[in-house]
Structure 1
Amino acid sequence: MSPIPDLATISDIDGHAFDFVIIGGGTSGCVLANRLSEDPHVSVAVLEAGRSRLDDPVVLSPVGYLKEFMNPEYDWLFPVAPQPNASTAHMIPWNRGKMLGGCSSINVMAYTKPAREELNALETLGNPGWNWSSYQKYANKAEKFCTPAPAIMDEDFRNLYNPDSVGHDGNLTLSFVPTGSNADSAFQKSLAKNGLNIRSDVLGGEITGIAKALSAFDSETGYRVSAATAYLLPALDRANLKILTEAYVCRIVTEMEAGGVVARAVEFEHGGKQYTVSAAREVIVSAGTVKTPQILELSGIGDSNVLEPLGIKTVLDLPSVGTNVQEHVIVASLNYRMQDDKNIITNHVLADKEHMAEVHKRLDLKTEYALVTNNLAFVPLRVASDSAEKLVAKKRAELAQNGPSLAPGLRKQYEVQLQLMESGCNADIEIMSSAVVLTPMAEPSKPHMALIAELTHPWSRGTVHIASADPKANPYIDPRYFADAFDLDVLAEGFKFALKVGETEPFHGLTKTRVSPPPEVDLSTDDSIKEHVRANIFGIWHACGTASMLPKELAGVVDPQLMVYGTKNIRVVDLSVLPLQISVHTQAFVYALAERAADIIKGVPM
């Protein structure tokens, strides 16, 4: 890599005024920093609580996430409240990137666009102009697609795409990873035997079916591509952009004016001392689904019933802050010991230096071997389960009975969610094959693979609220997994479907034995499967909703311009504004969101 320009020092920030102060240098914060500072007459400051790590080889490596997850140097490890509806002995924390680039510097790089109908649902919920067409415009603006080379390992595991569905001139380099597990095609064929088609276009708004997904990966350099490398690095030499890392925001300083609350400054901690930076035009909160509501509440913006008992004066009573949390939930316990003589490449090869050297030479890889294939299947419930019609009818009847007693915003969400489920145009379940098995293995030097089932559209709604006036204290995260029992019904059907795929040829012929759950675990009844699911769930880092973009009367926190209701210059730009969860992995949504937000701020006509 070329030398990285120096970042800001505290003397560049403290006591100074900037047109825009961006709280958070994660995915959306990096995009905004670049786009807003394109105007040399505008000054921009970014406050990032984590370190830079712009030249950290762990972050740049496509398999670096194996060293980042659960490592407090790279991962915020936000603790999750005990979940009474899940029988896990302890809850795995919510992993979030602790550096510039945020989660785009720690994720597994999967780049998947939502279903057309899911994006159109945003407009149905009361956000004019937020639909598939506008989304695709801004996603394409972000994207720089690399035309793939011919298949290297598995000719049947194909790079399928429509060049008209992806952007070619943006900042974000996207590629199909050049490697695979040698079980990918077999997995797809086993899925096809169970009712799924292979998609010819992974980016055009139709998501149900099987696909090799794009990755935020540069096939020429072999490096991960994050928002920090794609958007910040090209802008770091701009005199009007200052990036300060290890700057932990404590609160937004506000005043009341006619027409609403006005942000004047941001207080933050750096090197153990308190500092202030002033905002001449706007404060933009891009701290993510966990930290954004915390910062708003510490600033007196939120539910007075949460704030007042902690001694925080309510500046703006906005009860919806920190509510409407929706998180994708996975069961990652379905693991197979693969056959030794089939050249199945999984994470066991990372410890085999001889094999790694051979792989590097054969594939001309420039960095660590990418154990990322992003072999994904998005499955409607009616494909995964013979009980689909009965389950949907159960939910329809339940909503008809309970709907009148629900809050209007939640009722509207549920009505849209039910329509999406009934249409079959989006996915209720995702099935992934993974060459990385994170659960304990009896033979770690041998090939193992996991089939992972994911609940994509949870009906349960959780909360993220402060539990202390101390900015350094973690917020109380309660995703309320399976609070709506329908989620358990659907995820159990997804797990059963994954089991069936694992027993279907040709994938089954590549396996030696199922090691988890072992054969002695009773999976003969729906109740036993649900018990297994309850004991083996994890969140998958896609939580949204804590600052939902909805009409205020429907429990919204921000309007369609992403401005916090009741304020004149506090905007939220991150995944927390997504009011209804999408089926896919979420980074492709966030990049487009931030690109659109930059145009909104600049006043560019839609």
Structure 2
Amino acid sequence: MVQIICLTFILLTMITDNIVSCQHNTPIQFPLINMLLKSAAPNYTPLFPGDPFDFLRDSFPLPNGLKNPLSEYDYIIVGAGSAGCVLAARLSEDPTVTVLLLEPGRPENFLTGVPSIAPYFQRTEYTWPYYMEPQPGVCLGMINKRCFWPRGRAVGGTGSINYMIYTRGRPEEWNRIAAAGNYGWSYEEVLKYYKKSERANLGGLENSPYRGRGGEMDIQFVNFRTPLVEAFLEAGRILGSPTVDYNSPEQLGFGYVQTNTRSGKRVSSARAFLRPNKKRSNLHIVPLATVTKVLIKKRSKTAYGVEYVKNHLKKKVTARREVILSAGPIASPQLLMLSGVGPKEHLKSFGIPVIQDLPVGKTLYDHITYPGLIFTVNVTGISMNENRDGNIQNVLDWLQFGDNVVASPGGVEAIGYIKTPLSNPQDQIPDIELISIGASLVADGGPTGSKAVRRGMMISEDIFNKAYGTIDNTDSWSVFPMLLHPRSVGYLELKDSNPFSYPRMYGNYLTHPIDVATLIASIRYAQALIATPPFQRYGMKLHKAQFPTCRGIQYDSDEYWECAIRTITATLHHQIATCRMGPARDPQAVVDPELRVHGINHLRVADSSILPRTVSVHTHAPAVMIGEKAADLIKYTWS
């Protein structure tokens, strides 16, 4: 909500400027606004050059007065994302070892902690602005007809810009990963690592054996709720989905969203694991440092360090024990290939000397959604709306109490897991997650507002106006159906040998007919939901979107919904499997069950790229769990 941003800026500016003016007796013309807009807004040119209020960002100075990192460490971790932050904190618990954490992004600032403006950060300096390669038949309503894949570029990674949804996956999903030869990855074995990180403060679940209470990452319900979330939960019960703790293993159902927040503010991995430990003398955190290559001895196939660029200077640092890639599902496979680990013929085509022939990037899964299901209501003020909610009182209340609309994670209020008729009736694995939002795409300010949600998804303004212009900036509700287990498989490859080029990413969305059919089935389920009395109390009606891409197709037919899905095809930022985990006998595996790169000594990958198949999760929580488990694996190796 841009109004909330601006009001927060003004509030902080008044406080800061008053202090400075009292000291120096001279007025200051909004330097704080310049800095914060520079941090939060794309293509913003400050009135005053420089970054005089950099203190509003987190800072990670090197300890003991060091001006530069050391030339050698025991462990080098590449990427301060959801997994990398955990790994750095856990490894540096041993005061006898040294840990270097390199991150190409900046530290978080005050605004990244505001849950309600999560959509705004999809197009800022805190993201890598990746695009999927053009694919016929999907993302037809997006700018340039390309799917936008923003990933976090910050100390905290994508966990600094996501919607903070905390999910763990079903027992059957983890057990089948373990059954494929990935020892140590069954549900019971990963559960202990989920619980280790978790500091659950979820009213009513205090005695649950599946929750952790002594960890660093706060997991809480969102205190602010619209009446529409109660309608969602009640409608679910009518259709046979109980209200549950959806992270418990007993049964599928609907539940209030669980988020990694504390008192209404985001708790990323950086805030939970790095900030409290940044003064450790053996933990060196270096932001704005881009690793360009892993150094590997060709004869012994042993990783011994990395090259990186900071302040336009190339530097080298070596590792006495291990190099661990935690750069995420796009950058980790890219870095492996740039370093000579990947598909032999592909690397040779760019003149990269091949050290180990592995199927890096050959498998890529992603969770996609159709965000265009918008339902109108006949009650004014019942849903969230940027223009109505963006006021100074809400900002002040949030700063003090953290329990109002500003604390809402991008409007998400609840999620539910369902099995459509196309799912396997023999298991308890859902094929759709429903994300209940106390607003919709039309609630982000309308013609005079920020339009942060639609812009964050890169929806074409012309397509949006023709489909939703008649209800823009009105009260509404929406549900995002997330395709949990796509049959369509993508891949990733290098564009060239330049480490600053983005790789080529091929999602292959909706190339399998079951994926299309499953999403259509989820839309039919949503229509059944809103036909129940809890929603009909509010006069709920599905808006008839007029997509130019779907002219001549009968509205509400399966053909229409397939066209609509192909028009607004949106990622939920859950790319996985590009550094797939598996035993040596698995021809698709890049790392083994202990996350060691096959055929390379002293090199591991520890992030969501290692997940070998889809899981019913938003990938932040599994990445934290992977960081926890990787730390124990590494400690055991070197004990």
TM-score range, shorter chain: 0.7 to 0.9
From 278, 300, 304, the counterpart of 1:236: 278
Equivalence for 1:215: 259
Percent identical among aligned pairs is: 28
2:219 aligned residue = 174
**What secondary structure sits across from 1:111 in the alignment?**
coil
- What residue in structure 2 maps to residue 251 of structure 1? 293
- Retained in 2: the 8 A contact 1:81–1:91? yes
The match for 1:412 is none
Counterpart of 1:94 in 2: which secondary structure? strand
Q: How many Å apart are 1:91 and its aligned residue? A: 2.3
Greater Cα shift, 327-336 or 207-216: 207-216
User: Does the alignment pair 1:192 with 2:237?
Assistant: yes
Aligned residues of 1:492 and 1:530 also touching (Cα < 8 A): yes
The answer to whether the 8 Å contact 2:196/2:212 transfers is yes
Per the alignment, residue 356 of structure 2 pairs with 316
Alignment correspondent of 1:599: 632
The offset of 1:357, in angstroms, is 6.4
Cross-structure match for 1:434: 437
**Structure 1 residue 299 corresponds to structure 2 residue 299:** no
After TM superposition, give the deviation of residue 164 of structure 1 in Å.
Answer: 1.9
Does the CA-based 8 Å contact 1:300-1:315 persist in structure 2?
yes
Provide the rounded CA distance (Å) in 2 between the counterparts of 1:273 and 1:205: 50
Distance 1:485 1:230, change over 3 A: same
Matches within 5 A, 1:464-543: 464-511=492-539, 513-515=541-543, 517=545, 522-543=554-575
Question: Alpha-carbon deviation of 1:112?
Answer: 1.2
Write the mapping of 1:50-89 to structure 2, written as runs, cut at 5 A: 50-53=105-108, 56-71=109-124, 73-86=125-138, 88-89=140-141
Shift of 1:592: 1.3
* 1:587 partnered with 2:620: yes
Given residue 241 of structure 1, which amino acid in structure 2 is its aligned partner?
L
Residue 84 of structure 1 and its aligned partner are, at CA, apart by 2.2
1:261-315: CA deviations, max 9, x gaps? 1112201111111111111110000000010100000001000121111111111
Q: Which residue of 2 aligns with 1:399?
A: none
Match for residue 411 of structure 1? none
229, 243, 246: which is aligned to 1:202? Answer: 246
CA distance in 1, matches of 2:630, 2:285: 19
Structure 1 residue 496: deviation in Å? 2.0
For the aligned residues, what is the CA RMSD? Answer: 2.7
In the alignment, the residues of structure 1 paired with residue 487 and residue 542 of structure 2 have an alpha-carbon distance, to the nearest angstrom, of: 31
C-alpha spacing 1:569/1:198, structure 2 compared with 1 (3 Å) = same
In the alignment, structure 2 segments of 5+ residues that lack a partner are 1-54, 442-452, 455-463
Counterpart CA distance in 2 for 1:3 and 1:524 is 48
CA contact (8 A) 2:168 2:616 kept: no
Instruction: Give the deviation of 1:546 after TM superposition.
Output: 0.4
Distance change (3 Å), C-alpha of 1:508 and 1:43: same
Distance, in Å, in 1 between the alignment partners of 2:351 and 2:638 is: 43
Q: Which amino acid in 2 is paired with 1:253?
A: L
Provide the residue aligned with 1:164 in structure 2.
209
Q: Secondary structure at the match of 1:21?
A: strand
Alpha carbons 1:207, 1:426 under 8 Å: kept: no
Cα deviations by residue, 1:491-535 (Å, 9 ceiling, x for unpaired): 121122223323332223324643352599733422222122222
Q: Which residue of 1 aligns with 2:95?
A: 40
What does residue 579 of structure 2 align with? 547
1:419-458 mapped onto 2 (5 Å cutoff): 421-436=424-439, 437=441, 438-439=453-454, 440=464, 442=469, 444-458=472-486
Q: Give distance in 1, aligned partners of 2:102 and 2:239.
A: 49
Structure 1 distance, partners of 2:146, 2:89, is 37
Give the stretch that moved more between structures: 474-483 or 500-509: 500-509
TM-score, structure 1 length as denominator?
0.85
Distance 1:511 1:345, change over 3 A: farther
Task: Return the offset for 1:604.
Answer: 8.0
Shift of the 540–5 alpha-carbon distance from structure 1 to 2, 3 Å rule, reads closer
Offset at 1:347? 4.0
Matched, 1:272 2:309: no
Q: Deviations over 1:384-439 (max 9, x none)?
A: xxxx3xxx6xxxxxxxxxxxxxxxxxxxxxxxxxxxx3424011011111134234
Deviation, 1:207, is 5.5
Matched, 1:183 2:221: no
Question: Paired residue for 2:325?
Answer: 285
Whole-angstrom CA distance in 2 between matches of 1:381 and 1:114:
18
Structure-2 change in CA distance of 1:87 and 1:290 (3 Å) = closer
Moved more, 280-289 or 57-66: 57-66
Matches within 5 A, 1:85-104: 85-86=137-138, 88-89=140-141, 90-104=145-159
Look up the SS of the partner of 1:64 in the other structure: helix
1:215/1:361 Cα in 2 relative to 1: closer, same or farther (>3 Å)? closer
Q: Is the 8 A contact 1:347 1:435 kept in 2?
A: no
Question: Do the aligned partners of 1:262 and 1:567 also contact (CA within 8 Å) in 2?
Answer: yes
Q: Which moved more, 1:447-456 or 1:537-546?
A: 447-456
Look up the SS of the partner of 2:298 in the other structure.
strand
Q: Partner residue of 1:370?
A: 408
Q: Distance in 1 between matches of 2:478 and 2:429?
A: 24
C-alpha distance in 1 between matches for 2:338 and 2:165: 33
Are the equivalent residues in 1 in contact too, given 2:486–2:515 (CA < 8 A)? yes
Judge conservation of contact 1:28–1:286 (CA < 8 Å) in 2. yes
Tell me, in whole angstroms, the C-alpha distance in 2 between the residues paired with 1:284 and 1:364. 37
Structure 1 unaligned residues grouped into runs of 5+: 149-158, 383-387, 393-420
- Corresponding letter in the other structure for 2:414: N
Inter-partner Cα distance in structure 1 for 2:492 and 2:306 = 22
Give the secondary-structure state (helix, strand or coil) at the position aligned to 1:530.
helix
What amino acid is the match of 1:205?
A: P
Distance 1:248 1:14 in 2: 14
Distance in 2 of aligned mates of 1:40 and 1:160 = 36
Residue in structure 2 matched with residue 116 of structure 1 by the alignment = 171
Q: 1:334 aligns with which of 351, 356, 373?
A: 373
- 1:42 to partner: Cα distance: 0.5
Mapped contact 1:549–1:577 kept (Cα < 8 A)? yes
CA shift in 2, pair 1:88/1:366, >3 Å: closer
Question: 1:175 aligns to what SS in structure 2?
Answer: strand
